[in-house]
Amino acid sequence: MRLLVAAVSRNGRNKSSAAVGNHKVVAIIYSILDDTGIMLQPPDIQEYYAHGGPNDLLQGLEGCQLGKTVEIVLSPEKAFGHHDPAPTATDDIENVPPQFRRVGAAVQTQDDQGEIRAFFASKIENDKLTVDGIHPFAGRVLTYAVTVADIRDASEEKKVKGVAKPRMH
């Protein structure tokens, strides 16, 4: 049994005729799949962005209505780049805080100049933990299954300042 619910805006009008386009703030929910169809990230986060801005990755949503799902395939160059083994470090696991002692854990570091960089625990072997400065999805062709969760007109302020593009991690 499927439950169908009409999307209704705050003023009571049906939003089903709204479509993704310039000067729209769009909420998306997405999952990430690798080139074999294995889900790497489940659809658990809703992100907002201003359509028509500098983020050309989501141009495939142009004209989509509320509830529409689109698959966007990204090459490594468009997604997280190619894998580079250079920015890795290995340390005794006992020197690592317990919450980071698992493969996939994200660790943020800050250097002397204040620059913040994310590292990902990539391997645990022989009581050693290896962190990698390259995102674990680097070097992969990725498919984003993107569902339009909300569409609204951008305020004048958002048209001028924009809305942060989604963190497609």
Mean pLDDT of 133-149: 90
pLDDT of residue 132: 86
Q: Which of left, alpha, beta for 133 (phi over 0: left; psi -120 to 50: alpha)?
A: alpha
Q: Residues near 79 by Cβ (< 8 Å), separated by ≥ 6?
A: 137, 138, 140, 141, 142, 168
Strands 106-110 and 128-132: unpaired
Q: How confident is the model at residue 4 (pLDDT cuts 50, 70, 90)?
A: very low
pLDDT of residue 6: 30
- Predicted structure pTM score: 0.64
Taken in order of first residue, the domains within the chain and their CATH numbers are 24-76+139-161 (3.10.50.40), 88-132 (2.40.10)
Cβ proximity of 120 and 96 under 8 Å:
no
Q: Report the C-alpha gap between 133 and 10 in whole angstroms.
A: 44
pLDDT digits (tens, 9 = 90+) for 48-94: 888 876 656 678 899 999 999 999 999 998 888 887 776 788 999 99
DSSP 29-49: EEEEE-TTS-EEE-S--EEEE
